[in-house]
Amino acid sequence: MGKFNYFTYKEKGLDKFSTDYQQDLVFDLINAFALANNPLDSAL
């Protein structure tokens, strides 16, 4: 299996969402990590 080139990878589907919705998703992710008490919680 070849190496994955992250620099040429284009996100699929993110451009379908509005900028405000994308920003809400990012803040939700940040808050989820902030609430996690240990690495297992973060993984979930």
From CA 17, how far away is CA 20, in angstroms rounded?
A: 8
Spell out the domain ranges in the chain.
14-43
Tell me the per-residue pLDDT of 10-44, one tens digit each, with 9 for 90 and over: 666 767 889 999 999 999 988 888 888 888 877 77
So what's the pLDDT on residue 23?
Answer: 92
* Long-range contacts of the stretch 11-19 (C-beta < 8 A, 24+): none
The structure's pTM equals 0.55
So what's the pLDDT on residue 32?
Answer: 85
Q: Which tokens is 31 given?
A: 């808050």
